[in-house]
Structure 1
Amino acid sequence: MTVYVVDSNFFIQAHRVNYPLDIAYSFWNKVKELAETGRIISIDKVKAELYDKNDDLEAWCKANLPEDFFKSTDEVMTEYGRVTSWAISLNHHYLPNALNEFLDADEADAFLVAYSLADKDNRVLVTQEKSQPTRKNKIKIPEACNPIDVRFLNTIEMFRELGETF
């Protein structure tokens, strides 16, 4: 079964832009259902990003996501090494601040790619980030996914692939 590994922007952009918690109940009920059935998961680094604002989104996540929704990234250190090696190999392209941010152990992006890479036949990364290969001041998730064959898509593409509506 394919499992979709969601980035923090899956939640943040939905809440702030497209599907506010106080209006789009059907979207959030669908997210809860997919989380409960294990079709979507995330990682500990995303949890840290979501649980640092003490806001309505954090409260919703705590009340509605299963206890085991956020997976440990401790098991993917080999894959994380591959992702970081890829990033470092492009130090001629990316500015030092972009590399430092991407390689920061508290940042989720490289770990999301690594977690998806660890079982790339069954895990698909879900992010709202768009590819920007010429950008030098930020490493976008698609740039890290493409060279190591990690599949990624956005929220709506995930719902279409799952055949889900809300």
Structure 2
Amino acid sequence: MIYLLDANVFIQAKNLHYGLDFCPAFWEWLIESNHAQKVFSIDKVADEIAAGADELTDWMRNNANSMFLATDTRVVSQFGQVSGWTMEQNYEPAAINTFFQVADFYLIAHALPGGYAVVTHEVPANSPKRIKIPNVCSGLGLRFMTPYEMLRREQARFILGSCE
């Protein structure tokens, strides 16, 4: 399985779970998994991370060059399918306009032709005011999961070495 990570995976890892300063193994696992062609994200997520101008931005620029896939013609050709599904639902116009402008729309469009499993902290919600990644994935037949599910599936292990 190949995974495509939402921005909130990186941001929440940095802020809440796997700080760059105290859990470097998580970040090393991401890099190693990317080199093994198992974990990716997209250019629009990189743009969101870069806007933070913090240690996560530095990590991304220094370590993750191959992780963020470019939006190419294969991805652009999926925009119609993603927008068509979205327009057929009962979302408010403001929610649709917002969705079309954020990385989530591009993330789904990347996942379709690549057959990626989308990894996000978002959970499905039936609200006309906000379009959630899991709802779109379900509607378009894409796999989605939390970062913890991905780590368990891949049997990631972050084990302390001896403390001598």
The answer to whether TM tops 0.5 is yes
My pick for the range that moved more, 124-133 or 73-82, is 73-82
Cross-structure match for 1:109: 104
Q: 1:126 aligns with which of 119, 123, 130?
A: 119
Q: What is the CA-CA distance between 1:79 and the residue it aligns to? A: 1.5
Q: Which runs of 4+ in 1 moved over 6 A?
A: none
TM-score in terms of structure 1 length: 0.89
Aligned residues: 157
For residue 25 of structure 2, give the secondary structure of its aligned residue in structure 1: helix
Query: What CA RMSD, in Å, does the superposition of the two structures yield over aligned residues?
Result: 1.2
CA distance in 1, matches of 2:66, 2:24: 23
Cross-structure match for 1:145: 137
**Aligned AA (2:122):** E
Percent identity, please: 34
Is 1:34 the counterpart of 2:26 in the alignment? no
CA distance in 2, matches of 1:64, 1:56: 12
TM-score in terms of structure 2 length: 0.90
**Which ranges of structure 1 fall in alignment gaps of 5 or more residues?**
none
For residue 122 of structure 2, give the secondary structure of its aligned residue in structure 1: coil
Tell me if the contact between 2:34 and 2:66 (Cα under 8 Å) persists in the aligned partners.
Answer: no
Cross-structure match for 2:154: 162
Deviations 1:3-39 (A, max 9, x none): 1111111100110111111111221221222122221
